[in-house]
Amino acid sequence: MKKLIPILIAAILGFGAYAFAAKKAVPVNEKCPVSGKGIKADQTIGIGVCCGNCAKKVAKDVKGTLAKLKSDSKEDPDTVNKSCPFSGKGLKKVVTVAFCCGNCKGKYTPK
**Using one digit for the tens of pLDDT, what is the confidence trace for 48-80?**
999 999 999 999 999 999 998 877 666 677 788
pTM, two decimal places: 0.74
Q: Is 73 exposed, middle or buried (0-12, 13-18, 19+ CB in 10 A)?
A: middle
Count the alpha carbons within 13 Å of 51 in the hemisphere toward its beta carbon.
5
Q: Is the pLDDT of residue 22 over 60?
A: no
> Pick from 77, 78, 75, 81: which is nearest to 108 by CA?
81
SS3 85: coil
What Cα–Cα distance (Å) separates residue 21 from each residue in 16, 50, 60?
Answer: 9, 21, 26
Q: What is the mean pLDDT of residues 9-31?
A: 69
The pLDDT assigned to 34 comes to: 96
The pLDDT assigned to 3 comes to: 66
- To which H or E segment does residue 60 belong? helix 52-60
Q: Is the pLDDT of residue 19 over 60?
A: no
**pLDDT > 90: percent of the chain:** 60
The pLDDT assigned to 78 comes to: 78
The pLDDT assigned to 2 comes to: 62
Q: Is the pLDDT of residue 96 over 50?
A: yes
